[in-house]
Chain A
Amino acid sequence: MVSFNLFNLLAWRSLILRMIVLFVFIHKAGSAQQHDILLKGGHLIDPKNNIDALMDVAISNGKIAQVAANISESTAKKTINVSGLYVIPGIIDMHVHVFQGTDAYSTSVANSSRSQQADAFSFRSGVTTMVDAGTSGLRNFRTFKAQSIDKSQTRILAFLNVVGNGMIGRFQEQDVTDMNPEMNPYMIKKLFPEILVGIKSAHYWGDFTSVDKAIESGKLADVPIMVDFGEHTPTNSIESLFLKHFRPGDIFTHTYSEISSGRESIVDEKTKILKPFILEAQRRGVIFDVGHGGGAFSWSQAIPSFKQGFLPDVISSDLHDLSMNAGMKDMTNVMSKFLALGMELKDVIERSTWAPAKVINRSDLGHLSIGAEADLAVFNLREGKFGFTDVRRVSVQGSKKLEAELTLRAGKIMWDLNGISGEPWKN
């Protein structure tokens, strides 16, 4: 019996030892592949964290796991060589229209084919978050959510239109009785706080009523408003909008629009001088959004204002049917225009990642801090001779153009232009 027990004890000891060895081995092997994806050798630009240097980025479980100068390939299941490329936070396009549908009664972008599908334009431009700019209001937001937001792989956030019907037609957008400053805040604060980031006022023909009702909602919901100071004849004063109506953090979109009537320009059309209150307004916290669109980006505004020291706070596309095939094209094209204008690459990146994230109070987005959702874009900066056209078919030449090589949304590869994550084909 004793000898048997002794044998038993020895056997147990041996087993335990073996298990410890095995455990250590498994643990080591586990740690050897702790990351799902490693982006190796890229130039990281992460404005929030003040990084503009060669850095590797490791991703685990859909989150940023490590950012360091040299992360070993053996730590990752998959390594993608991104040397010679720029690695940046996933782009946030703060002004789009993506409530695509076929509502027979809509004559504008709400629930119509004039809106576009988010996924068709986002990933191929490095965009991982789109913010719909008031295409829906409280009456049709749920439809928008069910058919577009919930069906998209792109993260879609939204400004709720101050008008309940959203943008179903120009006449409906004039309906002051459909602007509900009490209900809009419930939608934003209580019902859909993860999606709704602000209030939109747009295309209004009258006085400041639409803006003021939007601000009333914005105050109650504690969110910014975005104003398309559209179609007033005669024009309303933007100085008054900025200095008398806006709160700090409220957004003026279509910054570089120059139209003959309906909207006042930021640069005097005759003298080409930036109006003196613009920089003052920006200092006081007015957010200037590009919102390129089909009719709202003129070089005759952008170039003089840039030369006079004015830079937009946020770069965005205003994607819709009339902008997508015109001068706008896509978000990378709009960003490249600012390179052509002379803006530094890191400033362009900041204005399309961390800056819009702050404006919409989503500080969880637009950066690559450890633990953040792994929304990333890898860009190449093409060199050559490129032309960039504004909404009046006036072009400016540039020598650089951004192109989205790789886009990851929550750690998943959504776009891979040149197959850099693919395996070489063997015959």
Chain B
Amino acid sequence: MKNKFLSTQKYRFINYSFLQRMNSFRIHSQKGLSIIILALIPFFAKAQDYDLLLKGGRVIDARNNIDAKMDVAVKGGKISKVAPEILVSSAKKVVDVSGLIVAPGLINIHTHVFAGSNPGFSDGQSSQLPDAFAIRSGITTVVDAGTTGWRTFPDFKAKVIDPSVTRVLAWINIFETGFSSGSAFEPDMETLSVQKTTEVIQKYPESIVGTRIGHYKGKSWVPFERASEAAKIANVPLFVECHMPEYTLQEQLDHMRPGDIITHAFENVSERMTVVDEQGKVRPFVLEAQKRGVLFDVGHGGAGFWFNQAIPAYNQGLLPNSFGTDEHRTSMNSGMKNMLNVMSKYLIFGMSIPDIIARGTWNAAKSIKREDLGNLSEGAVADIAVLSILNGKFGFVDSGQNRIEGDRKIEAELTIRAGRIVWDLNGLAANTYK
């Protein structure tokens, strides 16, 4: 507090409550400065205080238990203040967001974004560029799902992570070069290094959020166990993906620790047992795993989301903790489309808007142990999504081309990344043509 107090005039008057402000006023008065000058300082200071003020929106911030009409002020790329009424005169730029939802920037924990020139996913044509999909969906953070391993991660970082506007994080594959073809394979066990995997996590803690297993066609549990062991050593979660035909669903869940994440939760493919049985009941061992703290990610993808799984699961309490899209070449134009479309499906199932926002932001952030993200606490990086709820007649399809209808759909109006407006669908922050 002492340090803050000694900082600039400007800073003092934005961060302090009214009472504190009066205190500072009194202290200055005691120093014998002119009362008139002092009275003017906060005025002038205020006029320049914030870079951006989002005015009149419905703020939904699960981390801080907020679901109310609030103003959000941004300064220096950070959330500066969240309060019911912040003066318009205190900001350089004011954007009227009344009628809209103001949420932390959304987090997509399942993507494939090592887009490049090769065939396949790794530095390849099957992955998507993060900025092409994230920003227009209100997403400010994506997590690549193991497209790279410890050998290929630095290349990924240089080519995609560093130049992207979107914050790109990664699950590191236990396979040293990640995966490239979409089908399962069997790596040389000698190449599965717990030590190297742990080292790369520790070397890039700001980028790598956990380990990943998937695309393994063998019977041995060595790859799974090594991925799990590296995660344990690095104190990060394990992300369990698809295409492991020899492992049963129950075995996979049994091998997972609380906080580990299984994706493609609601898939209905021959390769893996479904979470819902033939009678439409969620299998007891799945609910048991959920109770134990295993997290379920949507991981929609091209084939990973079926209404005959997701709807009974939803009704029986098996809810996704996050809305990973599994974005790649073949999912992007299918029933998946983008993360807002995936979230809208849950709106149609009956999930409340605050609950959906929580799973798209704070829950996702916690699951990757990045509690600096997914919230609008004062001082947090100003990653913000301003969303609208469209009313109309909409249809949503699953991976089997089955369709449900709904009357609402989520759309991204404004996306702010570290305080900068990077998406503005309808020109809310623009000047009107004269």
Complex interface bits, B377-399 against A, C-beta within 8 A gives 1, otherwise 0: 00000000000000001111110
CB-based contact A393/B159 at 8 Å: no
Complex interface bits, A117-128 against B, C-beta within 8 A gives 1, otherwise 0: 101110110000
Q: In this complex, what residue of A is CB-closest to B155?
A: A102
Segment at the interface with B among A19-27, A190-198, A223-231, A410-418: A410-418
Complex interface bits, B93-137 against A, C-beta within 8 A gives 1, otherwise 0: 000000000000000000000011111000101001101110110
CB-based contact B128/A117 at 8 Å: yes
Task: Kindly list chain A residues whose C-beta atoms are within 8 Å of the C-beta of B307.
Answer: 425
> What's the interface size class on B, roughly?
35 or more
| Interface check B160, CB cutoff 8 A | yes
Select which of B118, B165, B398, B431 is within 8 A of A393 by beta carbon: B431
> What's the interface size class on A, roughly?
35 or more
Task: Kindly list chain A residues whose C-beta atoms are within 8 Å of the C-beta of B397.
Answer: 416, 419, 422
A157 vs B144: C-alpha distance in the bound complex, in angstroms? 31
Segment at the interface with A among B44-52, B196-204, B285-293, B332-340: B332-340
Task: Kindly list chain B residues whose C-beta atoms are within 8 Å of the C-beta of A113.
Answer: 115-116, 129, 159-160, 163
| Interface check A279, CB cutoff 8 A | no
Tell me the smallest distance from the CB of B172 to a CB of chain A, in Å: 20
Select which of A116, A387, A397, A423 is within 8 A of B132 by beta carbon: A116
Select which of B129, B403, B432 is within 8 A of A422 by beta carbon: B403
Tell me the smallest distance from the CB of A153 to a CB of chain B, in Å: 8
CB-based contact A147/B160 at 8 Å: no
CB-based contact B395/A422 at 8 Å: yes
A8 vs B157: C-alpha distance in the bound complex, in angstroms? 82
Tell me the smallest distance from the CB of B329 to a CB of chain A, in Å: 7
| Interface check A16, CB cutoff 8 A | no
Q: In this complex, what residue of B is CB-closest to A115?
A: B129
CB-based contact A388/B125 at 8 Å: no
CB-based contact B422/A325 at 8 Å: yes
Q: In this complex, what residue of B is CB-closest to A299?
A: B433
- Given A117-B132, A124-B333, A387-B426, A111:B117 Cβ within 8 A: yes
CB-based contact B128/A419 at 8 Å: no
Task: Kindly list chain B residues whose C-beta atoms are within 8 Å of the C-beta of A103.
Answer: 117
Task: Kindly list chain A residues whose C-beta atoms are within 8 Å of the C-beta of B403.
Answer: 419, 422-425
Task: Kindly list chain A residues whose C-beta atoms are within 8 Å of the C-beta of B239.
Answer: none
CB-based contact A389/B424 at 8 Å: yes
CB-based contact A394/B433 at 8 Å: yes
Task: Kindly list chain A residues whose C-beta atoms are within 8 Å of the C-beta of B423.
Answer: 325
Task: Kindly list chain B residues whose C-beta atoms are within 8 Å of the C-beta of A321.
Answer: 131
Q: Which residues of B, 290-315, contact A by the 8 Å Cβ criterion?
A: 307-308, 311
CB-based contact A120/B332 at 8 Å: yes
Task: Kindly list chain A residues whose C-beta atoms are within 8 Å of the C-beta of B15.
Answer: none
CB-based contact A324/B159 at 8 Å: no
Q: In this complex, what residue of B is CB-closest to A114?
A: B163
| Interface check B427, CB cutoff 8 A | yes
Complex interface bits, A295-307 against B, C-beta within 8 A gives 1, otherwise 0: 0000110010000
Tell me the smallest distance from the CB of B237 to a CB of chain A, in Å: 29
| Interface check A14, CB cutoff 8 A | no
Complex interface bits, A84-117 against B, C-beta within 8 A gives 1, otherwise 0: 0000000000000000111100000001010011
- Given A113-B129, A423-B403, A124:B337 Cβ within 8 A: yes
Tell me the smallest distance from the CB of A101 to a CB of chain B, in Å: 4
| Interface check A200, CB cutoff 8 A | no
Select which of B116, B329, B404, B429 is within 8 A of A425 by beta carbon: B404
Q: In this complex, what residue of B is CB-closest to A389?
A: B427
CB-based contact A120/B128 at 8 Å: yes
Please report B residues at the A interface, Cβ cutoff 8 Å: 115-119, 123, 125, 128-129, 131-133, 135-136, 159-160, 163, 165, 307-308, 311, 329, 332-333, 335, 337, 393-398, 401-405, 422-433
A-B contact pairs, 26 of them (CB 8 A): A102-B116, A102-B117, A113-B116, A116-B129, A121-B132, A124-B333, A143-B117, A303-B433, A324-B136, A327-B427, A329-B136, A387-B426, A387-B430, A389-B424, A393-B424, A393-B427, A395-B432, A419-B396, A419-B397, A420-B395, A422-B401, A422-B403, A424-B405, A425-B307, A425-B308, A425-B404
- List the 10 shortest-distance A-B pairs measured between CB atoms, nearest first: A395-B427, A387-B427, A418-B395, A422-B403, A101-B117, A387-B426, A419-B397, A395-B430, A389-B427, A425-B402
Query: Knowing that A147-B117, A420-B395 are A-B contacts, what are 16 other residue pairs whose CB atoms are under 8 Å apart, sorted by A's residue number?
Result: A100-B115, A101-B116, A120-B128, A303-B433, A324-B131, A325-B423, A386-B426, A389-B430, A393-B429, A393-B431, A396-B433, A417-B395, A419-B335, A422-B402, A424-B404, A425-B402
